[in-house]
A and B are shown apart, each in its own frame.
Chain A
Amino acid sequence: MADVTLNKLVKTFDRTEAVCGIDLEIANNEFVVLVGPSGCGKSTTLRMIAGLEEITEGDVLIGGRRVNDVPPKDRNIAMVFQNYALYPHMTVAENMSFGLRLRKYPKAEIKQRVVEAADILGIDDLLDRKPRQLSGGQRQRVAMGRSIVRNPEVFLFDEPLSNLDAKLRGQMRIEIKRIHQKVRTTTVYVTHDQVEAMTLADRVVVMNKGRIEQVGSPSDLYHKPSTRFVAGFIGSPAMNFIPCKLVEANGGLAAKVNDTISVPIPADRSDRVRAQVGKELMLGLRPEHIREQRADDGATGVACAVTPDVVEPLGMETMVYFGLNGVEICARVAPEASPNPGTPLTLSIDANRAHLIDPSSDMVL
Chain B
Amino acid sequence: MATTIAIDASGDGTLTQRSAFWLFMRRKSTIGVLMVLPLLAIIAGLVAYPAGYSMFLSTLNKAETKFVGFANYLFLFKRETFWMVVQQSIIFALVAVVGKAFIGFVAAHAVNTIPTKGQRKWRGMMLIPWVIPPALSTLGWWWLFEPTYSAINWVLAEIGVDAIPWLSDTFWARFSVILVNIWIGAPFFLIMYLAALKSIPEELYEAAAIDGANAWQRLYHITLPMMRNIIAITVLFSIIVTFANFDIVRVLTQGGPRDSTHLFATYAFRVGIESNDIPLGASVSLFMFPVLAVLAFLILRNVRKRAMEL
In the complex, is A directly touching B at CB under 8 Å? Answer: yes
Q: Could you tell me which A residues sit within 8 Å of B by CB distance?
A: 51, 54, 66, 68-71
Q: In this complex, what residue of B is CB-closest to A54?
A: B22
**Number of B residues, CB within 8 Å of A:** 9
Task: Compute how far the CA of A66 lies from the CA of B20 in the bound complex, rounded to whole angstroms.
Answer: 14
Assess whether B24 is in contact with A66, with CB atoms less than 8 Å apart: no
Of all chain A residues, the one with the shortest Cβ separation from B14 is A66
Given contacts A69-B18, A70-B21, 10 further A-B contacts (CB under 8 A): A51-B21, A54-B22, A54-B25, A66-B14, A68-B14, A69-B14, A69-B20, A69-B22, A70-B17, A71-B24
Residue interface mask B1-42, A partner, CB < 8 A = 1:
000000000000010011111101100000000000000000
Interface-central residue, B19, B21, B24, B25, by most chain A CB under 10 Å: B21
Q: Which residue of B lies closest to A52 (CB)?
A: B25
Q: Is the interface of A mostly helix, strand, loop or mixed?
A: loop
Which 7 A-B pairs give the minimum distances between C-beta atoms? A71-B21, A69-B18, A69-B17, A69-B21, A54-B22, A69-B20, A69-B22
A73 to chain B, nearest CB (A): 10
Question: Which residues of chain B are near A69, meaning CB under 8 Å?
Answer: 14, 17-22
Shortest A72–chain B CB gap in Å is 9
Q: Which residue of B lies closest to A51 (CB)?
A: B21
Q: A55 — nearest CB in chain B belongs to which residue?
A: B22
Kindly list chain B residues whose C-beta atoms are within 8 Å of the C-beta of A54: 22, 25
- Using Cβ atoms and an 8 Å threshold, which residues of chain A touch B22? 54, 69
- Which of A51, A54, A69 has most chain B Cβ within 10 Å? A69
Please tell me which one of the listed residues A51, A68, A71 contacts residue B18 in the complex, with CB atoms under 8 A apart.
A68
What's the dominant secondary structure at chain B's contact region? helix
- A70 partner residues in chain B, CB cutoff 8 A: 17, 21
CA–CA, A210 and B60, complex, Å: 67
A54 to B23, CA, bound (A): 11
Q: Which residues of B contact A (CB under 8 A)?
A: 14, 17-22, 24-25
Measured CA separation A224–B144 after assembly (Å) = 91
- B19: chain A residues at CB < 8 Å are 69
A-B contact pairs, 17 of them (CB 8 A): A51-B21, A54-B22, A54-B25, A66-B14, A68-B14, A68-B18, A69-B14, A69-B17, A69-B18, A69-B19, A69-B20, A69-B21, A69-B22, A70-B17, A70-B21, A71-B21, A71-B24
Contacts of B20 in A (CB 8 A): 69
Q: Whole-angstrom distance between the alpha carbons of A137 and B24 in the complex?
A: 36
- Residues of the B chain whose Cβ atoms lie less than 8 Å from the Cβ of A71: 21, 24
Cβ distance A10 to chain B, nearest Cβ, rounded Å: 15
CA distance A295 to B279 in the complex (A): 107
A68 to B22, CA, bound (A): 9
Assembled-state Cα–Cα distance A51/B17 (Å): 14
B13 to chain A, nearest CB (A): 10
A70 to B20, CA, bound (A): 8
Residues of B near A66 (CB, < 8 A) are: 14
Given the complex of chains A and B, what is the CA–CA distance between A71 and B22 in angstroms? 8
Instruction: Give CA–CA (A66, B7) in the complex, Å.
Output: 14
* Bound complex: CA A70 to CA B22 (Å): 8
A68 to B21 Cα, complex, angstroms: 9
Q: Which residues of A contact B24 (CB under 8 A)?
A: 71
CA distance A51 to B19 in the complex (A): 14
- Distance in Å: Cβ of A150 to nearest Cβ of chain B: 19
User: How far apart are the CA atoms of A108 and B22 in the complex, in Å?
Assistant: 35
Of chain B, the residue at the smallest CB distance from A59 is B14
Nearest-Cβ distance from residue B269 to partner chain A, whole angstroms: 46
Closest B residue to A72 by CB, please name it. Answer: B21
Q: Which residues of B contact A68 (CB under 8 A)?
A: 14, 18
* Shortest Cβ distance from B10 into A: residue: A66
**How far apart sit A33 and B20, CA to CA, in the bound complex (Å)?**
31
Q: What separation, in Å, do the CA atoms of A51 and B20 have in the docked complex? A: 13
Shortest B208–chain A CB gap in Å is 33
Q: Name which residue of chain B comes closest to A71, CB basis.
A: B21
Could you tell me the distance between the alpha carbons of A54 and B26 in the complex, rounded to whole angstroms? 10
B14 — which chain A residues lie within 8 A by C-beta? 66, 68-69
A68 to B25, CA, bound (A): 13
Complex Cα spacing A341 to B14, Å: 67
Closest Cβ of chain B: how far from A48's Cβ, in Å? 12
Q: Closest A-chain residue to B17, C-beta based?
A: A69
Q: How far is the CB of B128 from chain A (nearest CB, A)?
A: 32
In the complex, what distance in Å separates the CA atom of A70 from the CA atom of B23? 11
Give complex CA distance A51, B18 in Å.
13
Q: What is the CA–CA distance of A71 and B20 in the complex, to the nearest angstrom? A: 9
Once the chains are docked, how many angstroms separate the CA of A68 from the CA of B24?
Answer: 14
Question: A51 contacts which chain B residues (CB < 8 A)?
Answer: 21
Task: List the A residue with the shortest CB-CB distance to B23.
Answer: A69
